[in-house]
Chain A
Amino acid sequence: MNRPAILELRGVDVAHGRTPVLHGVSLTVGRGEIVTLIGANGAGKSTLLMAIFGLPSVSRGEVWFDGQPITRLPTHRVARLGLAQVPEGRRIFPGMTVLENLVMGSMVGEKDEAALARIHALFPLLRERGGQRAGTLSGGEQQMLAIGRALMSRPRLLLLDEPSLGLAPLMIRRIFQALREIVAEGTTLFLVEQNANQALRLADRGYVLANGRIVLEGSGLALLADPEVRRAYLGGH
């Protein structure tokens, strides 16, 4: 690892109320890298992403972003530092129009025309549907909107929680194609996926999370070839 880290977790413990979820998780995302975190349902993947934003807050250990500790920062302050999240379940604002959802993504709500144009180029559908209520979009369209909204703040690091969940194969391919374009433009990607095959093919490196602990790490291709990973997460033999 010779690239400078943009995100670093050092021995992080997180609990939901009194239930411990993560135990001493350490991981690094280098600038310009695509890193993926794979693991079974309930391993704590989504909790890990949310804990970076302090929801719930980290009970032990430290989170660093771009050379500064963000462990105890309130959620909205973290969001203004240059990292954005596409959370589990997409969480678009259903009662707002597609355009309003996108504008919500740009920092303090000021309309950033250049960022908007870039997202419209990436997902032309979001331009066509600009005036439509976001709640009426299909699942895949909502996923595009959630990604577009996260990109509106021009983040240096994008966290994605299962962007392929519940989508048709064609839509998954379109989403992953878009992610490649986003990376090509210089955004660092930290991707949580159950769809380990797609994720590991896209990623430079990967971590495997099981029962709240990192149990394996390596390059994307190495993990893809790992017999243990194939058996547990890829349905291979």
Chain B
Amino acid sequence: MSFHILVQQVVNGLVLGSVYGLIAVGYTMVYGIIGMINFAHGDVYMIAAYLTAIFLAALTLLGIQSPPLLILLVLLLTMAFTALYGWSMERIAYKPLRHSTRLAPLISAIGMSLILQNYVRLSQGARSQGTPTLIQGSVRLFENGPDQFVQITYAQILIVVTAVIGMSLLWYWIQSTAMGRACRAVQQDRIMAALLGVDTDRVISVVFVLGASMAAVAGTLVTFNYGSFDFFIGFVIGIKAFTAAVLGGIGSLPGAMLGGLVLGLAESIFSGFVNTDYKDVFAFSLLVGVLIFRPSGLLGRPEVEKV
């Protein structure tokens, strides 16, 4: 009996962890490049959920029936529009504060978060919204009697597969393209990058656009899976993803991915074996524990400068 629960919770944890990882990437990249925590990033995820519903309705009205095509188009459109939100957010709320104190953009980010939430509440209503489930069906593994099996839905498979593809593309982009190299250069030494002709403002914009698109992937996939959302969903998942980024080592891209997985798995296994109500307490205790023994996170490098 406990074997099935364990495997089932590992599956659920991987799904949850993929979602955390996709959002955590946005926190960690922005922190890496301008040293601020973008508190409005969770709300970007929330915007993506609404955009998913809007595009789904619009495309269905246009007569597109095939689920795979619908999913792909909605995903791409949501990514594009959410990216636009990310870009505008940086332009409006953070760029004017670039040469100000360290605290100013942080406060601006909290303001941006409140604005996004209330803008959605006013324009879309405060009640929970829903979309029809596009992806139905599941597979059962290790079936051994009427209530002894591990169930994986197709929607869960889609989440993990898309997350892996998204992260791999992002990793490739950062490691192997000229713009990705410029990103890493700005992260390591913004002044030197500028001295070499890198337009640092443009690089920062690109990072916001990428972070928002990854959050959009998470928002779209979760909406396809759960089907219900409201204007406040960005808050808790944002805090969780931020925790994942810190857990993995903020500023480190593989760290955010690993942190997401660790957090998702821990939360899910704890829910399965101990208690569901206290899963958040467990998740944040894990963070405290890791930070006590590894203050820079699992994969974060302590800042040592060689002179």
Contacts and interface: CB of A to CB of B under 8 A. Distances in A.
Interface of A: 53, 55, 74-76, 79-80, 84-85, 87, 89, 91, 93-96, 100, 103-105, 107-110, 135, 149, 153
Contacts of A94: 188, 305-306
Q: What are the 9 A-B residue pairs with the smallest beta carbon separation, nearest first?
A: A109-B178, A79-B197, A75-B194, A91-B192, A93-B188, A80-B197, A76-B199, A76-B197, A76-B194
B198 A76 contact: yes
Contacts of B196: 79, 84, 104-105, 149, 153
B195 interface: yes
Interface stretch (B106-114, B119-127, B179-187): B179-187
Contact of A76 (B200, B306, B307): B200
Nearest to A96: B184
26 contacts: A53-B194, A53-B195, A74-B194, A74-B199, A75-B191, A76-B198, A76-B200, A84-B196, A85-B195, A91-B195, A93-B185, A93-B189, A93-B192, A94-B188, A94-B306, A95-B184, A96-B181, A96-B185, A104-B185, A104-B198, A105-B196, A108-B178, A109-B181, A109-B182, A110-B178, A153-B197
Contacts of A93: 184-185, 188-189, 192
B35 to A, nearest CB: 16
Interface of B: 178-179, 181-182, 184-185, 188-189, 191-200, 305-307
Contacts of B178: 108-110
B184 to A, nearest CB: 6
B189 A91 contact: yes
Nearest to A101: B185
Given A76-B200, A79-B196, A109-B178, 6 more contacts: A91-B189, A91-B192, A96-B181, A104-B181, A104-B193, A105-B196
A55 to B, nearest CB: 6
Contacts, number: 67
A interface SS class: loop
Contacts of A95: 184, 188
A62 B185 CA distance: 30
Contacts of A104: 181-182, 185, 193, 196, 198
Contacts of B307: 89
A170 B37 CA distance: 47
Interface centre among B195, B198, B200, by most chain A C-beta atoms within 10 angstroms, is B195
Given A94-B306, A109-B182, A135-B306, A79 B195 contact: yes
Nearest to A79: B197
A75 B195 contact: yes
A103 B179 CA distance: 12
A75 B184 CA distance: 18
A155 to B, nearest CB: 11
A222 to B, nearest CB: 32
Contacts of B189: 91, 93
Contacts of A135: 306
B74 to A, nearest CB: 34
B106 to A, nearest CB: 22
A70 B188 CA distance: 27
A35 to B, nearest CB: 20
Contacts of A74: 194, 199
Contacts of B198: 76, 104, 109
A53 B196 CA distance: 10
A149 B199 CA distance: 17
Contacts of B199: 74, 76
Interface centre among B196, B306, B307, by most chain A C-beta atoms within 10 angstroms, is B196
A81 B116 CA distance: 42
A207 B200 CA distance: 33
A153 to B, nearest CB: 7
Given A55-B191, A79-B196, A135-B306, A109 B184 contact: no
B179 A109 contact: yes
A89 B185 CA distance: 16
A87 B192 contact: yes
A108 B193 CA distance: 11
A95 B306 CA distance: 11
Contacts of A80: 197
A154 B162 CA distance: 43
